A and B are shown apart, each in its own frame.
Chain A
């Protein structure tokens, strides 16, 4: 079994049960006119994360790499907050789906972009202030033994 399959019987049963249940769920989509679109979104989500989002944030992070570590983290963290909120609340920010939004709530999507920009600004300013406080604490206090031990 191990030589032929590469793992124990339990592994085979678990993976087959998984595939069978997933296939059963998928079978309810047979005859569904939008099934192809659904599959594209399903696969597209993986591609978008693994081959677009991951490389993008990695590259963005590398762009910061010449900075000293503490500065880098004080940019990284608000940038992650800005990126996360942009990603999750993108429809409102870019005003996509305005008609359905209006029909559902009687409100337009006008405020979201401005709010997101303010939120991003607040996160960067807060991070910068904390950095300035840390820096002055280090300069005023004990001699810098390990600059970055607090990150």
Chain B
């Protein structure tokens, strides 16, 4: 990405002629990379144009997946997809959408950085404002660059559980996304013709066959990206693309394991979800952090189902169902385990609700994610369980002992642990 400028060229001599002196700081001689140009920028641009919509859509789907009235921030006006009941199948649905959102978002970081490198001379273009149109477009570009960096930074901090920013991640990331959507759409609308024209100006196949010795700057044009006084190249254009592609690959290898799991998990060397406690699968929020004590979950624990209440032994005496289901979290990681417990619809029948339409699940835990509403499809799904055991053993306290909810394709945060009560509602 930093295929940078010839250092032997001093900044002096940049202002040749009186018009340049009058025109203010001339940056044409500072940015001297011979690789910068509309074609290279457009290659990065077309990759982002193809991939970022997927990141946007999967992010917006995540808001829907949380369920109506349960997304954060609560009130977003018309800044959301039309609500629909998030389906309870296929079981890997949320694993896929959220894995794509986070995974694709991460592997695009090198491309975003390369794109910003390729256009940085425009930041210092002189005069800073040529017309009202130029001024408005520059404001929209400030929003574009600001919002994509803001989304990357808040997303990266969130998946690493670093809340140094001190505001609500959900609110900031969601509204920041809409600023990005607005400015990204405008940028595409204004620049698409330039991008297509630039991509046609050179053949990708030829570029990939061009070694350093034959690497020439792009011809000067009105985009202002081509260096006025290019330095000799130190890297071919194909190598520059290779470096960025290598960055994408590197981040991909360091990320994919957190969503794919199994032996690949440990390849996510630098991410929290590249690890799991010894002999266990990853824990999402420990019992200690949720202030769950053994007194709450001991022999005295009972599950309240409206008028009915059941001990753990009584639950274990009910028909048990086993399902292999993923837990997938908003941070993009997931893990597939074998859960055993009582079907939610059987519990609904016990509570006297033969045709449940929804269920409100409450945890012993206090706090923002201590309750969740399940929709009709989720409650009625044959694999939707109040799990008592996982992989043939009792749940551990950190995994939600005495009982936890597990529902296909339900966001992990709504797979409530340490369940205290389930309130089934009929239509």
- Are A and B subunits of one complex? yes
A residues adjacent to B (C-beta < 8 A)? 4-7, 11-12, 14-19, 21-22, 24-26, 28-29, 32, 34, 37-38, 41-43, 45-46, 48-50, 54, 57-58, 60-62, 65, 69, 72-73, 76-77, 80-81, 84-85, 88-89, 91-93, 96-97, 100-107, 111-112, 115-116, 119, 146, 148-151
**How near does chain A come to B83, taking the closest CB pair, in angstroms?**
17
**How near does chain A come to B400, taking the closest CB pair, in angstroms?**
13
Known contacts A46-B142, A54-B117, A104-B285; is-contact A6 B175 (Cβ 8 Å): no
**How near does chain A come to B344, taking the closest CB pair, in angstroms?**
26
Given contacts A41-B153, A100-B161, could you give 15 more A-B pairs where the C-beta distance is less than 8 Å? A24-B79, A28-B73, A43-B146, A50-B120, A54-B117, A73-B239, A76-B2, A80-B247, A84-B113, A85-B250, A85-B254, A88-B156, A96-B162, A102-B286, A150-B212
**How near does chain B come to A132, taking the closest CB pair, in angstroms?**
19
Contact with A along B37-48 (1 / 0, CB 8 A): 000000000000
Within 8 A of A (CB), among B139-186: 139-140, 142-143, 145-147, 149-150, 152-154, 156-157, 160-168, 171-172, 175-176, 178-179, 181-183, 185-186
Nearest B residue (CB) for A57: B2
User: Is B343 at the interface (CB under 8 A from chain A)?
Assistant: no
Which listed residue, A6, A106, A149, touches B212 by the CB 8 Å rule?
Answer: A149
The complex places the Cα of A136 from the Cα of B140 at a distance, in Å, of 52
* Interchain CB contact under 8 A, B272 and A61: no
* Interchain CB contact under 8 A, B154 and A18: no
Nearest A residue (CB) for B280: A106
30 A-B pairs whose Cβ atoms sit less than 8 Å apart in the complex: A5-B131, A16-B136, A19-B139, A22-B179, A26-B175, A28-B171, A28-B175, A29-B175, A45-B146, A49-B149, A54-B120, A61-B2, A65-B7, A69-B234, A77-B243, A77-B246, A80-B2, A85-B251, A88-B270, A92-B271, A93-B270, A100-B162, A101-B161, A102-B289, A104-B289, A105-B272, A105-B273, A119-B270, A146-B213, A150-B212
Which residues of chain A are within 8 angstroms of B269 by Cβ–Cβ distance?
112, 115-116, 119
Which residues of chain A are within 8 angstroms of B275 by Cβ–Cβ distance?
105, 107, 111
* Interchain CB contact under 8 A, B123 and A50: yes
The complex places the Cα of A14 from the Cα of B193 at a distance, in Å, of 14
* Interchain CB contact under 8 A, B132 and A6: yes
User: Is B296 at the interface (CB under 8 A from chain A)?
Assistant: no
Which residues of chain A are within 8 angstroms of B140 by Cβ–Cβ distance?
15, 18-19
Within 8 A of A (CB), among B85-144: 106, 109-110, 113, 116-117, 120, 123, 130-134, 136-137, 139-140, 142-143
The complex places the Cα of A16 from the Cα of B110 at a distance, in Å, of 30
Question: Chain A binding site: helix, strand, loop or mixed by DSSP?
Answer: helix
The complex places the Cα of A57 from the Cα of B288 at a distance, in Å, of 43
Known contacts A89-B271, A103-B286, A151-B239; is-contact A84 B109 (Cβ 8 Å): yes
The complex places the Cα of A43 from the Cα of B145 at a distance, in Å, of 9
Which residues of chain A are within 8 angstroms of B288 by Cβ–Cβ distance?
103
**Interface residue count for B (Cβ, 8 Å)?**
91
The complex places the Cα of A38 from the Cα of B166 at a distance, in Å, of 9
The complex places the Cα of A107 from the Cα of B190 at a distance, in Å, of 48
The complex places the Cα of A149 from the Cα of B215 at a distance, in Å, of 10
The complex places the Cα of A148 from the Cα of B284 at a distance, in Å, of 51
* Interchain CB contact under 8 A, A12 and B239: no
Which residues of chain B are within 8 angstroms of A41 by Cβ–Cβ distance?
150, 153-154, 165, 167, 172
The complex places the Cα of A31 from the Cα of B137 at a distance, in Å, of 29
Which residues of chain B are within 8 angstroms of A43 by Cβ–Cβ distance?
146
The complex places the Cα of A119 from the Cα of B277 at a distance, in Å, of 22
Which residues of chain B are within 8 angstroms of A150 by Cβ–Cβ distance?
211-212
* Interchain CB contact under 8 A, B167 and A21: no
Nearest B residue (CB) for A10: B189
User: Is B357 at the interface (CB under 8 A from chain A)?
Assistant: no
Which listed residue, B130, B163, B270, touches A85 by the CB 8 Å rule?
Answer: B270
Considering residues A62, A85, A100, A151, which has the most beta carbons from chain B within 10 angstroms of its beta carbon? A151
User: Is B263 at the interface (CB under 8 A from chain A)?
Assistant: no
* Interchain CB contact under 8 A, B1 and A6: no
* Interchain CB contact under 8 A, A5 and B176: no
* Interchain CB contact under 8 A, A45 and B166: no
**How near does chain A come to B327, taking the closest CB pair, in angstroms?**
13
* Interchain CB contact under 8 A, B164 and A97: yes
* Interchain CB contact under 8 A, B2 and A100: no
Contact with A along B48-87 (1 / 0, CB 8 A): 0000000000000000000000000101110100000000
Contact with A along B1-24 (1 / 0, CB 8 A): 110111110000000000000000
Which residues of chain B are within 8 angstroms of A88 by Cβ–Cβ distance?
106, 109, 156, 251, 270
